[in-house]
């Protein structure tokens, strides 16, 4: 039943772009249902911005989003589009908007998704609103991104399982979590699992200071098993305390394990959690946050707003200027850093 209200837009598109995240489907569902509730047409755009360029679209009804709130992934598929980075590519995308009579687009993804949306809106008369969705939780303007809670709980469940066998064998485990440029997930998961040490991309690590000393302290305290959580983008300090031949190639986690083996005489096991963290049924927090953000995105477009990002700030959800939002840098949570320092520093 459509509400009797005036809308600034008649027909909107919705797409997902970049790395997928659990909860994206809940956001897509909320956009469709909130739009239909307001009497606004919705067009699903498959495969991110490339779907707009190629006209890979379909009209969406509530039937298309039935039973997806609890599903990971995205029914709209996702893709990264180099063509859309060009003016010509965006012209083709806008041609599709014009043919379809699209007044607005809701783009669910990360910073790159929003930058593309902003470029399109600057070059063509189309309103755009972004919804932050990435398990890295590394969008500076929003304190929370869809998918983060689910990914963290997935990683925590995996690490709890690894802890059991590490305790049985009295071993050291190195667990690599996602986070190419951002250590938010590693830091949060490291606290939640009581890690011996946590290594993040934002702070290049020194083996002695950031790993060896913490393992030695744990040993002195009688511990016989150790867990090091490493973000996939974590790097050694350039002036690392050991020659490069000690650190082989391989993943960030493997590099740390190689040093632990050669310097501490332990026999570590490496687990790279990888894309397990990107799937699975979204948590309650992700379902509700995604639904709220999808609703707010439609409200923003319906009320004539454009170039906005729906963000989680100070415990609530609001919309901010997209250009301003893109200028905000992601930083690690200082409180969590302080807590981790205390938790891993105790002897
Ligand atoms: O952006 C989220 C993310 O999962 C990163 O943590 C990870 O490095 C990247 O996507 C992996 O991208 P892809 O799925 O294209 O390999």
Per residue, the 3-state secondary structure of the chain, as one string, reads: CCCCCCCCCCEEEEEECCCCCCCHHHHHHHHHHHHHHCCCEEEEECCHHHHHHHCCEEECCHHHHCCCCCCCCCCCCCCCCCHHHCHHHHHHHHHHHHHHCCCEEEEEECHHHHHHHHHHHHHCCCEEEEEEECCCCCCCCCCCCECHHHHHHHHHHHHHHHHHHHHHHCCEEEEEECCCCCCHHHHHHHHHCCCCEEECCCCCECHHHHHHHHHHHHHHCCCCCEEEEEECCCCECCCCCCCCCCCCCCCHHHHHHHHHHHHHCCCCEEEECHHHHHCCCCCHHHHHHHHHHHHHHHHHHHCCCCCEEEEEECCEEEEEEHHHHHHCCCCCCHHHHHHHHHHHHCC
- Ligand 1 center from residue 4 Cα (angstroms): 42
Q: Whose CA is nearest to atom 15 of ligand 1?
A: 19
Label residues 181-194 b or e (16+ Cβ within 10 Å = b): ebbbbbbbbbbebe
- Alpha carbon of 99 to ligand 1 centroid (Å): 33
Cβ–Cβ under 8 Å, residues 106 and 14: yes
Tell me the best of 137, 178, 187 to mutate to test the pocket of ligand 1, counting ligand atoms within 8 Å of each CB and taking the most.
Answer: 178
Q: Are 15 and 107 within 8 A, CB to CB?
A: yes
Structure tokens at 188: 């949060």
Kindly tell me the burial class for residue 126, based on how many C-beta atoms sit within 10 Å of its own C-beta (0-12, 13-18, 19 or more). Answer: buried
CA of 179, closest atom in ligand 1: 6
- List the residue whose alpha carbon is closest to atom 9 of ligand 1: 19
331, 317 in Cβ contact below 8 A? no
Return the best residue to mutate from 16, 17, 19 for the ligand 1 pocket (most ligand atoms within 8 A of CB).
19
Q: Please choose from 136, 147, 253 the residue to mutate so as to test ligand 1's pocket, defined by most ligand atoms within 8 A of CB.
A: 136
Cα–Cα dist 241/339, whole Å: 26
CA-nearest residue for atom 1, ligand 1, is: 19
Q: How far is the CA of 231 from the centre of ligand 1 (A)?
A: 12
- Within 6 A (CB) of ligand 1 lie 19, 134-136, 178-180, 232, 278
Looking at ligand 1, which residue's alpha carbon is closest to its atom 2? 19
Closest ligand 1 atom to residue 278 Cα is 4
Which pLDDT value is given to residue 345? 86
Rg of the chain (C-alpha set) = 22
By alpha-carbon position, which residue is closest to atom 12 of ligand 1? 19
Distance in Å from the first CA to the final CA of the chain: 63
Residue-level pLDDT, tens digit, the chain, 347 residues: 666 678 999 999 999 999 999 999 999 999 999 999 999 999 999 999 999 999 999 999 999 999 999 999 999 999 989 999 999 999 999 999 999 999 999 999 999 999 999 999 999 999 999 999 999 999 999 999 999 999 999 999 999 999 999 999 999 999 999 999 999 999 999 999 999 999 999 999 999 999 999 999 999 999 999 999 999 999 999 854 444 444 446 899 999 999 999 999 999 999 999 999 999 999 999 999 999 999 999 999 999 999 999 999 988 999 999 999 999 999 999 999 999 999 998 77
Distance (angstroms) between ligand 1 centre and the Cα of 136 equals: 8
Cα distance between residue 332 and residue 183, in whole Å: 7
User: What is the number of the ligand 1 atom nearest to the C-alpha of 233?
Assistant: 8
- Residue 107: CB atoms within 10 Å: 29
Residue-level pLDDT at 346: 77
**How many angstroms is it from 21 CA to the middle of ligand 1?**
10
Question: What's the 19 CA to ligand 1 centre distance in angstroms?
Answer: 5
Beta bridge partners of 12: 42, 104
Residues with catalytic function: 136
* Residue listed under structure tokens 């040490």: 197
Ligand 1 centroid to Cα of residue 223, in Å, is 34
The number of the ligand 1 atom at minimal distance from the alpha carbon of 277 is: 4
CA distance 220 to 346: 11
């Amino acid at each position: 039943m459509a509400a009797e209200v005036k809308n600034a837009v008649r027909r909107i598109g919705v797409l997902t772009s970049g790395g997928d995240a659990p909860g994206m489907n809940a956001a897509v569902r909320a956009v469709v249902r909130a739009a239909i509730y307001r009497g606004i047409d919705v067009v699903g755009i498959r495969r991110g911005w490339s779907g707009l360029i190629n006209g890979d679209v379909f009209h969406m009804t509530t039937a298309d989003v039935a039973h997806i709130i609890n599903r990971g992934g995205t029914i709209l598929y996702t893709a990264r589009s180099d063509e859309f980075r060009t003016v010509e590519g965006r012209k083709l995308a806008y041609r599709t908007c014009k043919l379809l009579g699209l007044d607005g687009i809701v783009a669910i993804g990360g910073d790159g998704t929003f930058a593309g949306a902003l470029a399109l809106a600057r070059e063509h008369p189309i309103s755009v609103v972004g919804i932050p969705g990435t398990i890295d939780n590394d969008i500076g303007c929003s304190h929370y991104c869809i998918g983060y809670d689910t990914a963290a709980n997935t990683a925590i469940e995996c690490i709890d399982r690894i802890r059991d066998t590490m305790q049985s064998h009295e071993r050291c485990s190195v667990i690599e979590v996602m986070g190419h440029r951002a250590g938010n997930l590693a830091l949060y998961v490291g606290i939640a699992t009581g890690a011996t040490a946590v290594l993040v991309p934002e702070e290049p690590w020194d083996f002695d200071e950031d790993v060896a000393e913490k393992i030695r302290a744990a040993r002195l305290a009688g511990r016989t098993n150790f867990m090091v959580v490493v973000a996939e983008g974590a790097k050694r300090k350039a002036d690392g305390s050991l020659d490069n031949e000690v650190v082989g190639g391989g993943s960030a986690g493997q590099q740390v394990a190689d040093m632990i083996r050669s310097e501490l005489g332990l026999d570590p096991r490496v687990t790279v959690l990888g894309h397990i963290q990107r799937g699975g049924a979204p948590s309650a927090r992700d379902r509700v946050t995604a639904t709220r953000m999808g609703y707010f995105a439609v409200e923003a477009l319906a009320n004539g707003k454009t170039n906005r990002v729906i963000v989680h700030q100070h415990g609530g959800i609001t919309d901010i200027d997209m250009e301003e939002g893109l200028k905000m840098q992601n930083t690690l949570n200082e409180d969590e850093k302080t807590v981790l320092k205390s938790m891993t520093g105790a002897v």
